[in-house]
Structure 1
Amino acid sequence: MFHITLVAGARPNFMKIAPIIHAIDAFNKSEIRIEYRLIHTGQHYDKKMSGDFFEQLNIPEPDANLGAGGGTQAEQTAAVMVGFEKELMDHPTDVVLVVGDVTSTLACSITAKKLQVDVVHVEGGIRSRDLTMPEEINRMVTDSITDHFFTTSELANQNLKNLGFTEKSIHYVGNTMIDTLLKNIPNFQQPEGELFDQLQPQSYFVLTLHRPANVDEEQKLKAMMDAIMEGTGDFPVLFPVHPRTAKILQNLGVSHDRLHMVEPLGYLEFNYLVKNAKGVITDSGGITEEASVMNVPCLTLRDNTERPETIELGTNELVGTDPNKLKPYLDKIRNGAWKQYQGIPLWDGKTAERIVKKLSEIYNR
């Protein structure tokens, strides 16, 4: 038997962690061979992260919440490290498992290694090559001190090999985010409200924007919103928006009869909208993965991506951040001429099973 500490700090982290918890529980059915603690660093406070979120994903409430949200990048990193060091001192473990690329991923990896605890990184090896993104720095530092990598693509494997890591530490398993997606498609729920009751499948676009490069430069944001509304024709645009971004848009006078800015949605409700959308416009990496697997056209408003497989084999296209380049892509979606999902290797809903099996081989001594 061995002990593992599972770390999550933001909503996408829990979507990646959930199938691992389910796989551990299934693995332990005959006898307890893996004991785990689930730690929420508190990096993101989100009312949608209350009990109903954990209920939707069918995972237990975290064993501890470090309450490390807020502050600058440095303040948040420090708060997570201080809280997580105490957690590991009070609850010794054999291995710390981190996912993704948020501040908590970096902070908990450093803390674990300083205490001589092995680190495994789920979604290791992906790169955008863009050092203006905090996430890229988090990935690079975390990977530099990781003991075992669980990867989503052959390109991630090659990135790690180029850094000198050997095949012994690189485990190509697939994407746990897709495990969660495939398991929950039958449970998707239409959001409540008159707006959503009126929507027909394939009759609207879904928009998400959260990266500072897109939402903090006001005139750039206004130009992009104008281009989106012009390019989407007669289709409504549903925009689950952070209150801070909503305020910026209001100050800019951005409004339109077809633009519906709504509260952030739960996992099952948001993905219901994505699955039934004409197309998705986003600057999120995770949404490009989900949209691709659901065969929904997806436009990424970024100049780079750490998930090129969503472009090569998925339904995603990298549009860039120039509003003038958006219209031809939207025309193609509206005309029904978009590419189809080709299938991404090992994105089959069984990634977590492969992770738990490999962890057992490595640590059940």
Structure 2
Amino acid sequence: MSKKILVCFGTRPEAIKMSSLVHELRKSEFEIKVCVTAQHREMLDQVLDFFEITPDFDLNLMTANQTLNKLSGRIFTEMDGVLENYAPDLVLVHGDTTTSSICAWAAFHRGIATGHVEAGLRTYNKYAPFPEEINRQITGRIADFHFAPTETSKNNLLSEHTAAESITVTGNTVIDSLLWTVGKLDSGFSNDRISELESKVDFTKKVILVTGHRRENFGDGFLNICKALAEIASRPDVEIVFPVHLNPNVQKPVNDLLSGYDNIHLTEPLDYPSFVWIMKQATLIITDSGGVQEEAPSLGKPVLVMRETTERPEAVEAGTVKLVGTDSDVIARNAFELLDQPSVYEKMSKAYNPYGDGKANARIVEFLKSKLT
């Protein structure tokens, strides 16, 4: 009888990184079912639609202004029923979300093995990123199999006394998903959001793509970020595209401070193919996102990261990413340096991407075959 694997995720970033893995797993002898918590709803659905995945279990847990504790409690309750009824041999979770840690914990309570995709990233500062750092550590303590994207991640796990035979270095599945998406775009895929960007943004100028959503940047952090973007937008040769996260803590300062600029395009959150398309067109990217730090180097795009620490130090060490925090002067100064100094830009844009070659999914499946069959 085929071993049963339940793939669990709930947010847009998880869906992006796990969807291509679902397709790879479905080529194998395993029985695969997908469970989504819908910790993000609309943004999750966009990814599922693009990757042509229909969940077998949809917990639909997103509600407005839901606290992390309430969300966690609901995931525990609903996942318990799924695990009891389906009784998988393995639960696969991803990364550092509340969904990943609670689904792993729920599986542990029922004696079900867990595999952790994108395992071993650490800042060792439990408040940065919050709550992701602790989510990831909790999942790491529970997991039976660890799919580390890099040697650094593997070494973090080994330093925590994780059994070496339970760890394999795979690269990051986000590169697999990115290359799959680029292939579709290069084959002519388009949609209304891409067409809208083509009509509104002046691509003869230097395009800066901005994203921001981290909880630790709420408040003064986002005010400083907006101040920096306003300074950058004072240049006539720049166009800024800023898909604004739906969280009110992001929406209010961004719309209050940046809505009056002709060359700052504040959009609704972009679906994944549209986001990859604009990444390809961008000159540089300013973000506090973890996933973008991994994706952009594969497209040759320098990244300025608006955080004080990162659980992805490999990109900093490789030179594809630079930490700039949320000091407005530091953000603007580094952006101007990349815009005005070709040697600095070329060094960052051509640096080696440490996050993979697009074969992470195949490595995960081969590892699971060796452990489960």
TM-score by length of 2: 0.90
Deviations 1:144-191 (A, max 9, x none): 111110001111111111111121011111110110001111323473
- After TM superposition, the structure 1 stretch with the greater mean CA deviation from structure 2, 158-167 or 187-196, is 187-196
Which secondary structure state, in structure 2, belongs to the residue aligned with residue 205 of structure 1?
strand
Aligned: 1:208 with 2:211: yes
Deviations 1:261-293 (A, max 9, x none): 101111110111011101111000101111111
Between the aligned partners of 1:97 and 1:131, the Cα distance in structure 2 is 24
Between the aligned partners of 2:245 and 2:335, the Cα distance in structure 1 is 24
Question: 1:81 is matched with which residue: 72, 76, 101?
Answer: 76
| CA RMSD, Structure 1 to Structure 2 (Å) | 1.9
Between the aligned partners of 1:202 and 1:363, the Cα distance in structure 2 is 53
Deviations 1:29-65 (A, max 9, x none): xxxx20011000121122x433x5323223x210011
**TM alignment of 1:283-298, pairs within 5 A:** 283-298=288-303
Between the aligned partners of 1:343 and 1:253, the Cα distance in structure 2 is 34
Deviations 1:97-120 (A, max 9, x none): 001110010100110011000011
Question: 1:45 is matched with which residue: 41, 46, 68?
Answer: 41
Residue 134 of structure 1 is matched in structure 2 by 131
Question: 1:340 is matched with which residue: 337, 341, 349?
Answer: 349
Q: Which runs of 5+ in 1 are unaligned?
A: 28-32
Question: 1:147 is matched with which residue: 144, 149, 152?
Answer: 144
Residue 264 of structure 2 is matched in structure 1 by 259
Query: Is 1:126–1:159's contact at 8 Å kept on the other side of the alignment?
Result: yes
Query: Is 1:288–1:316's contact at 8 Å kept on the other side of the alignment?
Result: yes
Between the aligned partners of 1:222 and 1:137, the Cα distance in structure 2 is 26
Query: Is 1:202–1:276's contact at 8 Å kept on the other side of the alignment?
Result: no
- After TM superposition, the structure 1 stretch with the greater mean CA deviation from structure 2, 281-290 or 319-328, is 319-328
Residue 183 of structure 2 is matched in structure 1 by 186
Residues 1:269 and 1:331: Cα distance change in structure 2 (over 3 Å): same
Q: How many residues align?
A: 354
Between the aligned partners of 2:117 and 2:206, the Cα distance in structure 1 is 36
Matched AA of 1:185: V
Between the aligned partners of 2:149 and 2:279, the Cα distance in structure 1 is 22
Query: Is 1:278–1:333's contact at 8 Å kept on the other side of the alignment?
Result: no
Residue 61 of structure 2 is matched in structure 1 by 68
Which secondary structure state, in structure 2, belongs to the residue aligned with residue 62 of structure 1?
coil
Return the offset for 1:195: 4.9
Between the aligned partners of 2:213 and 2:355, the Cα distance in structure 1 is 29
Which secondary structure state, in structure 1, belongs to the residue aligned with residue 80 of structure 2?
helix
Q: Which runs of 5+ in 2 are unaligned?
A: none
Matched AA of 2:364: I
Matched AA of 1:131: K
Which secondary structure state, in structure 2, belongs to the residue aligned with residue 18 of structure 1?
helix
Between the aligned partners of 1:295 and 1:318, the Cα distance in structure 2 is 17
Between the aligned partners of 1:267 and 1:195, the Cα distance in structure 2 is 14
Between the aligned partners of 1:251 and 1:297, the Cα distance in structure 2 is 28
Which secondary structure state, in structure 2, belongs to the residue aligned with residue 257 of structure 1?
coil
Return the offset for 1:308: 1.1
Residues 1:345 and 1:254: Cα distance change in structure 2 (over 3 Å): closer
Residue 17 of structure 2 is matched in structure 1 by 16
Aligned: 1:302 with 2:307: yes
Return the offset for 1:69: 1.9
In percent, how many aligned pairs have the same letter?
Answer: 30
Between the aligned partners of 1:92 and 1:9, the Cα distance in structure 2 is 20
Between the aligned partners of 2:37 and 2:107, the Cα distance in structure 1 is 14
Return the offset for 1:328: 2.5
Residues 1:194 and 1:269: Cα distance change in structure 2 (over 3 Å): closer
TM-score by length of 1: 0.92
